[in-house]
Amino acid sequence: MKTFSLALRNLLRNRRRSLTTLLAMIIGLVAILVFGGYKSNIMYGSETGFVQGSGHLQIQHKDYFSEGGDNPTAYGIADYQRIVDTVRRDPILSPMLAMVTPSLQLGGIAGNFSAGVSRSVMASGVVVEEHNQMLLWNDYGLKSYAQPLPLTASDPDAVVIGTGVARKLKFCSVLKVPNCSQTVTTPVGEGKQAPDDIAALSALEKSSAPQQDETRIEMLAATAHGAPNVASLHVVQAKNMGIKAFDDVYLAMHLAQAQKLIYGTTPPQVTAIRIQLRHTSQIPAARERLSHLLATDFGNQPLEILDFRALNPMYGQTAQFMNSMFGFISILIAVIVLFTIGNTMSTAVVERTVEIGTLRAIGLRRSGIRRLFLCEGVLLGLIGSILGVLCALFIAYLINHSGLSWTPPGYSYAYLILVRIWQDMHLLAGSVIGLIVVTLISAWWPANRASRLLIVDALRHV
């Protein structure tokens, strides 16, 4: 305690130099915490979005993810409901589960033949209530941009399309799509005609479909036997999916409707069983238990388990980029702080050479001199850390309440700029400990040099 008291008095002897050193430390720590908090918000936000959409884990047919995206019938999961029930009832998995739900991905052609247009789409068949429940997952307390599908209690033929699909199918006005302009096209019957096979299938479907309205489309897909099948669907809403490439092909429908379109009267299948956990940290334990269940009870099917990181490569790429940027900034600031503190301590040693000789002459050991200068470095680190954290929290508060936003590359709408510092204790603790370690390293060399001064040379130093 006496050593720390002397160290504090020594720092106050040259207030201007100590203040300059503290200012460099504070600015460095604020930069690290603010950028680190921004990085944390981006990564937690990305994780939340991916987990809401795809779940933490998915059970899929082996090789479906790499090879079967355009051929769901060859990679379907048979007897999927028994797998879902087994997972839900398992005593080990049950406490971890937030939701277990099947889904079916399929490709096809959606057409608005009254306007003479069509386009390729990637459709997703989901159990609507369970899908909307997954969108409520928000383990990090972030601002969520997820919007539930407006298909609850809707007709079996109801679908939701992306705003990009709505533009292509000429639904801008009827679905009130913003920032959408349409060109006049020649309707079917006054010029271009739909292909004969599609027109024939559409006519058969329309014979049992509700009366045609302005938001009805026909979707053509290949059945499990390779034959074409068409369904007349009612578009209830155009939804902005955020990423333009996804928005231009998105279509969501009831799972039963998707299965009817692909499998007809044959036993239906799905392409994935999505498993959402209560916490991301439970992934290893849940994966291990799922692997045991699948190998024990469903070994007749070649199934595999993928987590949200494998399902969404963009997450890993974003994490790698943000971590490299954060590491570069941290190293740069650490080097600046290292030389600033080292210069301050070296100057103090030169100025106090006679004092060091006097202390050594009255019996203070070399370890005591070294400890005195190291204590000064630790005090600088502690004071700089406290002030830096307070300044960073204040700046983060201003940013979080400023309403600033930005549009990420490839996205269609803006996200708020937020900084998570207090909520990310790993970042906060790591930055503070890192600053103190850098301070100790900076002070070690001057402290060691001071302890090695010869008493006679130090006393006659001018």
Least-confidence region, from 54-68, 127-141, 330-344, 346-360: 346-360
pLDDT of residue 153: 85
- Is residue 406 within a helix (H) or strand (E), and if so which, with residue range? strand 405-406
In the three-class reduction of DSSP (H, G, I as helix; E, B as strand; rest coil), residue 159 is classed as: strand
pLDDT given at position 275: 96
- Amino acid 46: pLDDT: 87
Strand spans (E) along 127-249: 158-162, 216-222, 228-239
Cα 351 to the center of its chain, rounded Å: 52
Helices (H), 62-195: 64-67, 80-89, 128-134, 163-168
C-alpha 10/C-alpha 71 separation (Å) is 75
Average pLDDT of the segment spanning 18-43: 91
pLDDT of 451: 77
d(CA 187, CA 220): 19
Provide the residue type at 384 as one letter: G
d(CA 226, CA 228): 7
Q: How far apart are CA 201 and CA 222, in angstroms?
A: 12
pLDDT in tens, 139-164: 988 877 788 899 988 899 999 999 88
Residue 286 pLDDT greater than 90, yes or no:
yes
DSSP β-bridge partners for residue 390: none
Residues 429-444 have a mean pLDDT of 88
Q: What is the C-alpha to C-alpha distance for residues 87 and 138, in angstroms, rounded to an integer?
A: 22
Q: In this structure, what token pair is assigned to residue 450?
A: 């001071």
Highest mean pLDDT out of 263-267, 286-290, 373-377:
286-290
Report the run of H or E that residue 61 belongs to, with start and end.
strand 57-61
Residue range 324-350: average pLDDT?
86
Taking residues 276-295, report their average pLDDT: 94
| Structure tokens, 383 | 């004071």
- Answer yes or no: is pLDDT of 404 > 90: no
What is the share, in percent, of the chain residues with pLDDT greater than 90? 35
Please state, rounded to an integer, the average pLDDT across all residues of the chain.
84
Backbone angles phi, psi at 226, to 5 degrees: 90, -5
Does residue 186 have a pLDDT over 60?
Answer: no
How would you classify residue 179: left for phi > 0, otherwise alpha for psi between -120 and 50, otherwise beta?
A: left
| Contact between 89 and 330 (Cβ < 8 Å) | no
- What letter would DSSP give residue 302? -
Q: Is the dihedral of CA 279, 280, 285, 288 positive or negative?
A: positive
Measure the CA dihedral 141/144/149/152, to 10°. Answer: 30
In this prediction, residue 190 carries a pLDDT of 46
Q: How far apart are CA 381 and CA 11, in angstroms?
A: 12
Instruction: Convert the pLDDT of each residue in 71-81 to its tens digit.
Output: 777 888 988 99
Every domain of the chain and the residues it spans: 2-47+316-459, 63-301
Of 68, 400, 453, the residue nearest 77 (C-alpha): 68
Q: 419, 396 in Cβ contact below 8 A?
A: yes
Lowest-confidence region among 169-173, 309-313, 391-395: 169-173
Distance from the Cα of residue 6 to its chain's centroid: 49
